[in-house]
Structure 1
Amino acid sequence: MKDQAAPGDGSAGATTDRLTTREAAERLGVKPETVYAYVSRGQLSSRRAPGGRGSTFDAAEVDALLRRTGRREPSPVTGDLVFRTGITLIEDDRYYFRGVDATEMATHYAYEEIAEWLWTGELRPGTRFTAPAEALAAARRTVDALPAHSGSTDRLRVAVVAAATADPLRFDLSPEAVLGSARSLIPTLVGALPTSAGAPTATGHEAASQTPGLARRLWPKLTAHPADAASLTVLDAALGLLIDHDLAASTLAARVAASAHAHPYAVVSAGLGVLEGPLHGAASGLAHRMLVEVLERGSAAPVVADHLRAGRRVPGLGHRLYTAEDPRARTLFALLAQVPQAAPALAAARDVVTTTARHTPLHANVDLALAVLSVSSGMSAEAGETVFAVSRTAGWIAHALEEYGERPLRMRPSGQYSGPRPPQPLPGPGSATT
């Protein structure tokens, strides 16, 4: 959004309340690059400075933005990177997919439909993804060869590699080819996961004829409990809510891979590698175990006390991008309230939030909501991580599509060397740096 300058606006008197880019950045507590990101998002307007050098910003508008953001943008000393993206906006404790409220989308549309919206900006009702037979067979063979104790993320990572080998067009980075790979990869990942012991399985003919949505196909991979309509609604909403969340760590890794023009399967592999960390996709497993303990002990108080006594954070609480409750958690909690068997786990989660609030004002995040779903549905502790990984694959592809259109290899930060100053003598046997 740009100012509509009136005649004479370039005079000295008209610019006394305007700030240079650096002044605006200092007032907001951000980098100069972030100021321009605000402009690209329409949150600030800029005007060319007299003489055509640089831009200026209205001081009152900068102050208004400061009041809205509360200086939540990274400060200049953090070294964080800022990239323009038209995919997800997180603002004022809400988040949006291409300008549309993400929680609204997740409660009105299926996962595949939201993925198409994120990829193309078009809504395609009734969209369903289908796994190619060759890719699915290769992925299943590879997954079946893993040790029995392998985790779901291990299986997904090797399934991606196997699916890539079955796609001879994977190096074609045109949007049409990338979208074709994405639409086949996601159902291949789900199809390659083993079915939970005791869960009913559909024959190949039944699966092909029904072509159910991804949530229904994923459900028996997570639990042997029958899939009722209300529970499937929660799972589908969780998949839709988790598709993207701006430049999270795994998404940044995916964009770095895409910047090097890695094919989409390699982009997803990069994202999965980061997602496996306990501070990212695996966080819901910690919340799952906590809720199980709360239910066993009958109260959140001793469980929360044990976490605090050990110097551990209480899982499932707080998010650096939200001052109030994570909107993803709020949406899932509302849907879980319609699932009768989720009532005990939901009450336990509320107990955790209330107990912790006596000491620190932390709100529930999406990991706690995923834990309620997994605990109440008889899923394993890693089920939330599986849901996260499958869902976020679509987001990584969306960012890859965006990054393929940028200058290649643009993400090349410079290291600040802190080792011994050269020249140093050639080391001999037994030498060590000091």
Structure 2
Amino acid sequence: MSVRSGRTVRDLRRENRSAVLQRLYFDGPLSRLALGPVTSLSSGSVSNVVADLLAEGLVEEAGSVDSAGGRPRTLLRVRQDSAYMIGVDIGETRVRIELFDVALTELARADRPLAANGPRREDRYDVGVVLGHVRDGIEEVVQEAGIDAEQLLGVGVGVPGIVARTPQDGAVVHGQTISWDAVPLERLLRESVSLPDSVSYFIENGAKTLGQAEMWFGGGRGAGSAVVVLFGSGVGASVFGEELRPGRAVEWGHLKVRVRGRRCRCGAQGCLEAYAGAEALLERWREAGGKPPSDAGEEAALTALLAAAYPAGPEEEADTVALAVLEETAEYLGAGFADLINLLQPERILVGGWAGLQLGTRFLDRVRSYATSSALSYPASHVEIRLGTLGPDAVTVGAAILPLADFFAHGGRRAPVEAEEPAPAWQTTLRQRAAH
């Protein structure tokens, strides 16, 4: 036991299990011999940990590999069916619920469109309606996948807004753009969803869950620092770096790009989101004389805007109004990216979200040009700006990663299973002294 670090034997055991599990997960199959150098553990420690993980059904043998002059070495990997996770994306046009195994194979999915339920825009995001979609979707995917709910590591939820935490309610969502004012979402989910008490909820900003997915499995792998942009109806971002793991959501969409500018959904004026979010982009197209399809949703309307600006046939003329709106949007996004470059100096900026991927294939080069010309030359010359690689549904993948990351952090256990160790005598003595 290290007195200086304060770690206990239990802490060391958990860290060893976590190190082995993570290396097998990301780099496996691996032999016991190969696990030593990549985990910095002794051969004895590796053997003990592997024996425990095999006995618990978290790890399995996966064939063998020849060794130089010795017996073949048995390969090990994390068992794909050892546990399951649910990822939920509470988006601004729909709620999506997906159930995954440990290898992130999708086993079941439920989609619930968020249709307007009244004259006010915020009626679409009525807490009761959204909660009902999540509840019904979770029950549906568990039943469809045919798994025992006790096998769930947890439910990860990506939300639009700032997530705070209180001892009484757990995760509380402050979603100003959807009129959510201190919604105790974790408590509401626990009260309404029929899952075992052992299943935990992990609620984070949707941009952070997207970023988590890209950093683990997508375009952020190998980067020391990155900003992952979520571009949908609105705009958000998450920041990752050596001091910011597992990342932090930032309200990038509400940076000011124009004094006394357009009114944003948050109520302020001149926010980037008021110019670059898909909802605002389509509104600006209408104001300029564009004609989106009547009664079309945002995704279909954005497809129509791109088709007007970039017609498929060589004989068709581009819609100059649509082109002008997109060019202005690229300039605003470039200014927003320049702010990220100057403030954070990341190695990479990744663009994701359904609107970001749809638009990025067409005009990311223009955004990149505006960004690098507006930013300071040194950080601009050291940043890559590119599209994310995990597709438009990466928020649910990132949400499902949240319980998986917690599982790894606890060494492959849902919660500590050992009794609390007694405090050292010096600690008890000093606490008693401080009480007088």
TM-score by length of 1: 0.30
Greater fraction helix: 1
TM-score by length of 2: 0.30
